Structure 1
């Protein structure tokens, strides 16, 4: 478990360093996930230890939302002042995410049908 957790944190650290060094417009953890994805492609997927560690982290994912919830409560007056902008951005991003997901799903289905034929 320690080796798998170290790999996850190392990928995130390298992602953070690359983003800051190259001034990329993406968050460091996203770059770290891309690096981890490339590593997993080269290794033909995760080993059992990485799979188990990742599943255990996902089981307790709700704990990672506690700081965000605390921040919202801490700045509740600001949320009250800017509720319209927050509501519109949440609605727009949700609709956009659903549209992109549906488009990607349709594209994948078309590509899968062509491969099967």
Structure 2
């Protein structure tokens, strides 16, 4: 378990280093996660490895990672109240934009793969056998 957590932290540190040296506009942990993904794909890492066990253990306690974000929201409540309209508009706008991008991406992939949704078999009616 300690070895797996060490690997995870090492890749986060490596991601920070790559981002700072290259001047990329990406968070270091995201770059580290991408590097870890590439290494795991190249090494054909099994499901019983130390990195997978450490990740599974962290995922079991995922709700604890939301505590700092919740504390940040509470401490910034005055700012959130003052700027509620722009925050709500940006949240709704980004949600709609993401929904449109995912929809267009799905349609584009269907066309690219040559399987338009019209050619897929229809789902059985509810209650039909």
Which TM-score band (shorter chain)? Answer: 0.7 to 0.9
| TM-score, normalised via structure 1 length | 0.83
| Runs of 5+ unmatched residues, structure 2 | 116-129
Partner residue, 1:111: 113
Which has the larger displacement, 48-57 or 15-24?
48-57
Q: Deviations over 1:38-79 (max 9, x none)?
A: 101111144413222212211211111111110111110000
Query: Quick check: 1:98 aligned with 2:99?
Result: yes
| Runs of 5+ unmatched residues, structure 1 | none
Partner residue, 1:51: 52
Instruction: Work out the CA distance in 1 between the residues paired with 2:114 and 2:3.
Output: 36
RMSD between aligned alpha carbons?
2.0
Q: CA distance change for structure 1 residues 11 and 68 in 2, over 3 Å: closer, same or farther?
A: same
Partner residue, 1:73: 74
Once the two structures are superposed, the pairs formed by residues 78-89 of structure 1 within 5 Å of their partners are 78-89=79-90
Q: CA distance change for structure 1 residues 15 and 108 in 2, over 3 Å: closer, same or farther?
A: farther
Q: Give the structure with the larger helix fraction.
A: 1
Q: How many residues align?
A: 113
Which has the larger displacement, 55-64 or 97-106?
97-106
Query: Quick check: 1:9 aligned with 2:9?
Result: yes
| TM-score, normalised via structure 2 length | 0.76
Larger Cα Rg: Structure 1 or Structure 2?
2
